[in-house]
Structures are given as C-alpha cells and as structure tokens.
A = this chain, B = another copy of it.
Amino acid sequence: MNEARIVLLSGGIGGAKLALGMSRLVNNDNLTIIVNTGDDFDHLGMRICPDLDTMLYTLAGIANSEFGWGRRDETWTFMRVLQSLGGETWFRLGDGDLALHVERTRRLSAGESLSEVTDDIRRRWNIAARITPMSDQYVATRVIASDGEIGFQEYFVKERCAPVIKCLRFAGIEKARPSPDAAKALRAPGLAAIIIAPSNPYLSIDPILAVPGMTAAMRAANAPIIAVTSLIERRAVKGPTAKIMTELGAPPSPFSIVKHYAHLIDGFILDERDAAHADSLGVPVRCTDTLMVTVDDRKRVAQAALDLAADLAERRS
C-alpha cells in the first residue's frame, strides 16, 4: 500500500473515476478529495450537490455506471407521481437519490455544515477516503450565455449545454473559504501530490481554484501539482469540455488546458494518443491511456499521476 498523502481536486463523473482508481492504490486514510460544489443548487426545496453525490456513490460502490450519475438499483416512482402533479421534472431524481438530498437539506437547515454532513455520510457508507466540499459556503456557478445568464444546472441539464457560453461566474465566491478538511489536507506535512482530476477545467475545477485562499494553500503545500488531461484527441470523453473551450476562445487541445492551469501545475498527464504534443506543453509530462472504462484503467491513470509526482519530487530534492 502506497502511504503517500494525496489531495485530489475533482468534479463529478470523470473525477470520481480517477478517485476510485486512486482509492485502490493508496492508503485511504491519507487521501483527501476536494470536490466542486459550484454545481450545487436548490431544487424543489432541496439542496442538491451533484458532484459530491457522484463522488459518494462512486466510492461507496453504488453508482449507476450506465448513466454516469445517480445510484444503481434506483426506482423512479417519485418522478412519475411528480409529473402527475405538474411538478418540475427536468432534473431527474431517483427515489433513493432523494433520500440523500432530503436528509442533507434537513441537516443543513438544522445548522450543520456541508463538510460535516458529507463526512458523516461517507463514514456511514464505509468510504475510507475523506471527501470534502471545496467550501462550506454556498457558491453557484452561473453561465453567462449569449442570450442571458442562467444557473449551471439549467444550462447543463435543462438546456443540455446548448447555449453558447460567453463566460462563467461563481456567485458567492468572494465569501467562500476552503472547507476545514480541504485546508487541513493542504496544510498537512509530507503531502506527496496535489492532483487535478480530468474534470472540466472551466466548469468543475475553476470553481475550486476560485475559492479565495485555495490556490495559495495549494502552492504553500510545496507538493507537486499534477493535472490530468480531460481531452483525448481534442475531444472530451463525456461532457461539453471541447464545446465550452471553443466558445471561450481556447482551441480544445492539451496545450490550452496546460495554459489554463499555467503558474499552478508542475506536471501534466497526457493521453498517449496525444503524445506528439508532449514536448510542446512546457511542463513535465507523462503519457498514458487516459480513457477510464475499467477499474484497472482508473488505477493506471492514478498511478501515472503518482509516478509523475514522485519524479518531480525527486528532482526537487
């Protein structure tokens, strides 16, 4: 078992895959996953945290691998009845998924922090790795599209990413602080690596990095910061990364991602299909097959990031 202390920054689906791989390689007591909460929103009176939920479901081994979101063995009676009541059904909520939203909302209303609730849930579900929101303060990613501003889930789910993005803003970010466990993990002595998951850099990672004090804490940790590419041959495995990059004026390429993370990352995991770009990226690179279908795929990508971090640490010393 690798005893390295690791911090992983992650969005939802792709990040959760890497997190699962990482959880099979390192002592999970030493693994902290800082999860994007910019996607969180209030819907039908409930606080919904899609990326945290995907991470919890994935590491608890109860994720729906077919959808990429939600729980396996899910039932859909709630949605069926909600429709008969004329309720809003554009955001699909499974019956079991609802329990997480209802119970978390109840506990937040009772004064618990999102960190505390999340930590309790991951323990109840026997997840050894620490899962923590980027912040306990509410931050809402807002999409400023060519025809007006909309909330992230409206853009992502209701509008299926169709609006052309002009820019993104993270409402409430100025009052956010890194969650206690995020700050603690970045402060802990002997941190071996900070890994940025292959999540959408703009939608999933930028909100984390925008939390005041987050990048300063990452730099102060004095550990190699490694980003994993979210593109394979200029395409995202899932989701609108390439479309959004084009709309924001960044050609969808590994170079654009490295440039986006400039002054922050020390190394980059590139897909082997893009190996020709390795020398032009301006940071130390390791190539591997970054497509994560099986658990072994996930372990391979996680191992590549650990190896590159170890190399970089060795060069420093």
A49 to chain B, nearest CB (A): 14
Residues of the B chain whose Cβ atoms lie less than 8 Å from the Cβ of A106:
44-45, 87
- Cβ-defined partner of A95 (8 Å) among B85, B95, B109, B124: B95
A174 contacts B by Cβ under 8 Å: no
A86 in contact with B44 (CB, 8 Å): no
A124 in contact with B86 (CB, 8 Å): yes
A271 to chain B, nearest CB (A): 37
Q: How large is the interface on A (under 10, 10 to 19, 20 to 34, 35 or more residues)?
A: 20 to 34
B86 in contact with A99 (CB, 8 Å): no
Query: How many copies of this chain sit in the oligomeric assembly?
Result: 2
Q: Mask for A46-88, Cβ within 8 A of B = 1, else 0?
A: 1000000000000000000000000101110111111011110
B74 in contact with A99 (CB, 8 Å): no
A100 contacts B by Cβ under 8 Å: yes
B98 in contact with A98 (CB, 8 Å): yes
Return the chain B residue nearest A117 by Cβ: B85
A80 to B71, CA, bound (A): 13
A98 in contact with B85 (CB, 8 Å): no
- Cβ-defined partner of A44 (8 Å) among B74, B80, B102, B120: B102
A285 to B105, CA, bound (A): 53
B45 in contact with A84 (CB, 8 Å): no
Residues of the B chain whose Cβ atoms lie less than 8 Å from the Cβ of A46:
45, 102
- Chain A residues with CB under 8 Å of chain B are 44-46, 71, 73-75, 77-82, 84-87, 94-100, 102-103, 105-106, 109, 120-121, 124-125
Known contacts A46-B102, A77-B95, A78-B102; 7 additional CB pairs below 8 A are A44-B102, A71-B81, A75-B77, A78-B78, A78-B99, A82-B103, A85-B121
Shortest 8 CB-CB contacts between residues of A and residues of B? A81-B99, A77-B95, A95-B95, A81-B96, A82-B99, A77-B96, A87-B103, A75-B77
